[in-house]
């Protein structure tokens, strides 16, 4: 089936499943349901993006852009003030980011939040950073172990087979490192560390045996399997221009990986440019019957119906829709008898680190642009390892690189001598940065603004969220630890930093927790299968379902949670229990 054949607008068909969202989780839900024979409708609020065809800047050099990939300051101020805070935003990628002018939100006095959005078919799977790690048993047990947050209703063993399932399909490169706090993945061969990193890895192993340094695991086909190549995906070219879109299909995205499988079944329909306003709830049967949609182009309204609804619209997108779905039974948002919908918003804290120069290695350089760095897993992963003045811990990312023209190009200079200097390599630099865990706190909340609305007439989201003292102490400790580690291995001219005041929550683009899972329906929205306690045919499998943030990047866990939930839901439907 051709992809263009499956796009719809108006229809009175009742589907087996509606999936709201088309990013990492929506793509997986579509693949799993359609391959099981369920007629499935995927709803995406943004435009259609076709693999290969709709990557307009792919392969273009910086010199082909008016301001060498820099976005005009006036355009940023008018349309991309929030989006430009993303590491991936520039003139080559801005078409995959939301327009702030059309996507307003508000924050409580004294707080700030960075909401980075990618509203198109494929969502942020086109622009994510692709770091892919499993959560460990320590992560799932953390809330119970130290009393912060509610107990996860699942453990690592519940997700282990589903991690393997999604990894084999997606393609995750990395070592099998045998670490208890970072379970091994089903891995493709790892990308190689450079010479400086290998030496630092050796020194860390001697000086800090409890802080192993490994190559980052990422959703890239370092060496594709026959399975991947049969489905049109080939080897990563190490260009590190992934956010432009990748026609090689070398990194995991909805377009390259899950959507083609779903489309091939003949069981998938897609509605794009369709803003889900709210869910249609039938109080007599206690079931969701479908969704109300506003057309993004002409603001007309329509409804779609299904036996089951999967919310995969991103943590904040899902929560906005659920809060806006009110009824006599659920006046404060659908499936919200617990009152926790919108609360316990989390992100990761990247606001500390250190770096400096490494002497020697003048005859060493790197080839290509490796799409991952080095990684030091959380070494404070259980209460006995916590520091005395704060709880939980942080992982470290980073890497070594040698100064070249890209850095010098921002310096002062003119004429032939300056141009010649750009051809001379500089010193080696090695840096580390934090990825800290954010505690789940009730007061970190997103709600609907009582008066402000967006252009579709939906209440804007209002954020009241901030770093706690725990995160601030954690980042201060991280900066000190990183500086100390680098000093011990002989790094020179070290500069450490803490930037908690400058980078608010949301900056990591790892929003989590606003419709959390739990064992007790009085303090959670979902059960251990991502199914709403209150409404059995409504599921949430994106980051909203998290009980704690852990320290690892969350997308791989989103995938595993989604396929596990689909498997459960499909069996329940077949048994007519939903």
Q: Are the beta carbons of 151 and 143 closer than 8 angstroms?
A: yes
| Residue 342 shares a structural domain with residue 305 | yes
* Per-residue model confidence as pLDDT tens digits over 371-398: 999 999 999 999 999 999 999 999 999 9
> SS in 3 state form for 479-513?
HHHHHHHHHHCCCEEEEEEECCCCCCCCCCCCCEC
Query: Can you tell me which residue has the tokens 């995160």?
Result: 471
Q: 26 vs 188, 195, 484, CA distance in Å? A: 24, 40, 43
Identify the bridge partners of residue 398 per DSSP, sorted by sequence position. 374, 432
Residue 30 has pLDDT above 60, yes or no: yes
Domain encompassing residue 377: 173-250+350-436+467-503
| Residue 551 shares a structural domain with residue 455 | yes
| Residue 453 shares a structural domain with residue 358 | no
| Residue 131 shares a structural domain with residue 221 | no
What is the tally of structural domains in the chain?
2
| Residue 167 shares a structural domain with residue 182 | no
| Residue 473 shares a structural domain with residue 540 | no
| 373 vs 392: CA distance, rounded Å | 23
The total of other beta-carbon atoms located within 10 Å of residue 374's CB is 23
| Residue 81 shares a structural domain with residue 20 | yes
> Residue 548 corresponds to which tokens in the numbers above?
């704690």
Domain end among 452, 484, 503: 503
At a CB cut-off of 8 Å and minimum separation 6, what does 5 contact? none
At a CB cut-off of 8 Å and minimum separation 6, what does 126 contact? 49, 96, 118, 120, 243, 245, 253, 254, 255
| 172 vs 217: CA distance, rounded Å | 6
Identify the bridge partners of residue 338 per DSSP, sorted by sequence position. none
* Per-residue model confidence as pLDDT tens digits over 198-246: 999 999 999 999 999 999 999 999 999 999 999 999 999 999 999 999 9
| Residue 47 shares a structural domain with residue 117 | yes
* Per-residue model confidence as pLDDT tens digits over 164-210: 999 999 999 999 999 999 999 999 999 999 999 999 999 999 999 99
| Residue 284 shares a structural domain with residue 414 | no
Would you place residue 410 in the very low, low, confident or very high pLDDT band (cuts 50, 70, 90)? low
| Residue 127 shares a structural domain with residue 274 | yes
Could you please report the per-residue DSSP string of 511-531? -B-TT-B-S-TTS-SB-TTSB
Whether the pTM exceeds 0.95: the reply is: yes
Provide the CATH number for the domain around residue 528. Answer: 3.50.50.60
| Residue 154 shares a structural domain with residue 287 | yes
| Residue 158 shares a structural domain with residue 190 | no
Which is it for the CA torsion 144, 148, 153, 157, positive or negative? Answer: negative
């Amino acid at each position: 089936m051709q992809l263009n054949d499956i796009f719809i607008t108006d229809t009175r068909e009742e589907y087996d499943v509606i999936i709201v969202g088309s990013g990492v989780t929506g793509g997986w839900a579509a693949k799993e349901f359609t391959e099981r024979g369920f007629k499935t409708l995927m709803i995406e609020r943004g435009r259609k993006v076709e693999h290969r065809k709709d990557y307009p800047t792919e392969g273009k050099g910086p010199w082909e852009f008016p301001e060498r990939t820099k976005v005009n300051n006036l355009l940023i101020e008018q349309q991309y003030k929030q989006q430009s805070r993303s590491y991936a935003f520039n003139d080559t990628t801005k078409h995959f980011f939301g327009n702030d002018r059309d996507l307003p939100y508000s924050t409580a006095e004294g707080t700030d939040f960075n909401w980075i959005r990618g509203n198109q078919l494929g969502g942020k799977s086109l622009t994510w950073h692709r770091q892919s790690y499993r959560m460990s048993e320590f992560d799932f047990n953390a809330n119970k172990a130290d009393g912060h947050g509610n107990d996860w209703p699942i453990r690592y063993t519940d997700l282990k087979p589903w991690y393997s399932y999604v990894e084999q399909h997606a393609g995750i490169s990395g070592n099998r490192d045998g670490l208890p706090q970072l379970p091994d993945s089903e891995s493709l061969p790892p990308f190689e560390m450079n010479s400086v990193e290998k030496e630092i890895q050796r020194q860390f192993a001697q000086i800090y045996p409890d802080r192993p340094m490994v190559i980052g695991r990422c959703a890239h086909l370092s060496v594709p399997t026959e399975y991947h190549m049969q489905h049109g995906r080939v080897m990563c070219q190490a260009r590190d221009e992934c956010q432009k879109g990748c026609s090689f299909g070398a990194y995991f995205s909805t377009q390259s990986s899950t959507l083609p499988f779903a489309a091939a079944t003949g069981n998938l329909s897609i509605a794009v440019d369709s803003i889900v306003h709210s869910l249609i709830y039938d109080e007599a049967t206690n079931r969701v019957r479908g969704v109300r949609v506003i057309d993004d182009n002409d603001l007309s309204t329509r409804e779609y119906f299904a036996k089951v609804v999967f919310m995969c619209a991103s943590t904040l997108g899902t929560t906005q829709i659920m809060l806006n779905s009110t009824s006599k039974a659920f006046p404060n948002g659908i499936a919200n008898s617990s009152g926790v919908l919108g609360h316990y918003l989390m992100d990761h804290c990247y606001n500390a680190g250190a770096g400096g120069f490494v002497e020697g290695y003048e005859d060493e350089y790197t080839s290509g642009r490796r799409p991952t760095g080095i990684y030091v897993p959380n070494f404070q992963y259980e209460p006995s390892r916590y520091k005395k003045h704060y709880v939980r811990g942080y992982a470290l990312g980073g890497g070594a690189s040698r100064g070249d023209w890209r850095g010098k190009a921002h310096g002062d200079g003119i004429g032939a001598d300056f141009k010649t200097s750009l051809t001379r390599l500089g010193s080696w630099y090695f840096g580390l940065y934090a990825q800290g865990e954010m505690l789940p706190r009730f007061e970190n909340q997103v709600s609907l603004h009582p008066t402000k609305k967006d252009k579709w007439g939906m209440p804007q989201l209002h954020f009241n969220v901030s770093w706690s003292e725990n995160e601030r102490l954690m980042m201060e400790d991280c900066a000190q630890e990183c500086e100390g580690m680098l000093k011990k291995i002989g790094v020179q001219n070290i500069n450490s930093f803490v930037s908690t005041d400058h980078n608010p929550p949301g900056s990591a683009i790892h929003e989590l927790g606003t419709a959390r899972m739990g064992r007790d329906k009085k303090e959670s929205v979902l059960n251990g299968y991502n199914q709403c306690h209150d409404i059995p045919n409504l599921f949430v499998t994106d980051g909203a379902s998290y009980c704690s943030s852990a320290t690892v990047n969350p997308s791989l866990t989103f995938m595993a949670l989604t396929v596990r939930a689909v498997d459960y839901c499909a069996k329940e439907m077949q048994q007519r229990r939903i």
